[in-house]
Amino acid sequence: MRHVLAISVDGLRPATLERLGATRAPAYHRMLREGAGTLNARSAVERTTTLPNHTGMLTGRPVARARGGHGVAENNDGGGTVHAAAGEHVGSVFDVVAASGGRTALFTAKDKFALFRRSWGRSIDRFHVDEDNAALVRAVRTELVTRPRRLTFLHLSLPDRAGHAHGFTSAAYVAAVRRTDRLLGSLLATVRRHAWLRDHLVVVLTADHGGTTHGHTDAAALSNYRVPFLTWGAGVSRGRDLYGLNPELDRPGTRRPGYTGDQPVRNGDLANLVCDVLGLPSVRGSQLNAGQRLDLR
């Protein structure tokens, strides 16, 4: 029975990973070389901000409430729930895993993810906030080795934080991406050292959005809506491009495809990809990858 570690690196620009290459961002490139992925996935169409895109990753829904989306359009936690934002009950990947008897955890570097605990707390066995990204990764590594959960979701914030402070093309931003690469490398090394994890764990890594000079609010900017989507681990093809593995997908080039017609890989595909990997039904009410068609081999 497989398990999943889903990682979202807040504000991770694929262009920076390309520029750094395998020598200066070895862990990200290892996921590409040994797994199935793309550096040209897409965020939500409507928003390139943190809470709307993470809500999409967890629910498989677009943002716009009018078209059955999750309704979380604002990037601050106002103390409500996703259900209130949507005007209806919104299921999440945590609910699907919990309903199957699996245990889940959400590790995050931002307080505002309390929105998710408030919304799906009964399906999240452990909710842990720590701004210290290295401490978060240590906690996840400990759990992986001692009592792996069927779904662990880890959110890291270093690139976003450096991007807002110094610019998303600054040296400080690049250094923050490299720090997350080392943290990712430590997680991959933990998996490699433990036979059970090697045989059972799938790692899925994406981002909520990229970034431009000093922000990422313009949803029409390529550098904001382009994100990575990498998968690696048990049962995942090695060194395959996700668009090559899934020819029915729309290779978006530099475009920003809407939700009708052929779809690119989106960060919001994550929820139902996790269900697929775990052999579970799709998230109720989801629209993105709802047929679990995104194949990793």
Question: What residues line the site for Zn ion (CB under 5 A)?
Answer: 160
What's the closest the beta carbon of residue 222 comes to Zn ion, in angstroms?
Answer: 17
What's the closest the beta carbon of residue 210 comes to Zn ion, in angstroms?
Answer: 10
Residue number, 109 or 144, with CB nearest to Zn ion: 109
What's the closest the beta carbon of residue 173 comes to Zn ion, in angstroms?
Answer: 11
Residue number, 43 or 287, with CB nearest to Zn ion: 43
Q: How far apart are CA 164 and CA 208, in angstroms?
A: 15
Residue number, 180 or 237, with CB nearest to Zn ion: 180
Residue number, 224 or 289, with CB nearest to Zn ion: 224
What's the closest the beta carbon of residue 209 comes to Zn ion, in angstroms?
Answer: 7
What's the closest the beta carbon of residue 216 comes to Zn ion, in angstroms?
Answer: 6
Residue number, 29 or 226, with CB nearest to Zn ion: 226
Q: How far apart are CA 168 and CA 163, in angstroms?
A: 4
49 near 212, Cβ under 8 Å? no
Residue number, 143 or 160, with CB nearest to Zn ion: 160
What's the closest the beta carbon of residue 11 comes to Zn ion, in angstroms?
Answer: 5
Residue number, 38 or 49, with CB nearest to Zn ion: 49
Residue number, 160 or 276, with CB nearest to Zn ion: 160
Closest CA to 49 of 66, 72, 30: 72
Which position has the token pair 């949803």?
219
**Cross-strand pairs, 36:** 231, 240
What's the closest the beta carbon of residue 227 comes to Zn ion, in angstroms?
Answer: 13
* Alpha-carbon torsion angle 256, 262, 264, 270, nearest 10: 120
Q: Which residue is nearest to Zn ion (CB)?
A: 160
What's the closest the beta carbon of residue 156 comes to Zn ion, in angstroms?
Answer: 13
41 near 227, Cβ under 8 Å? yes
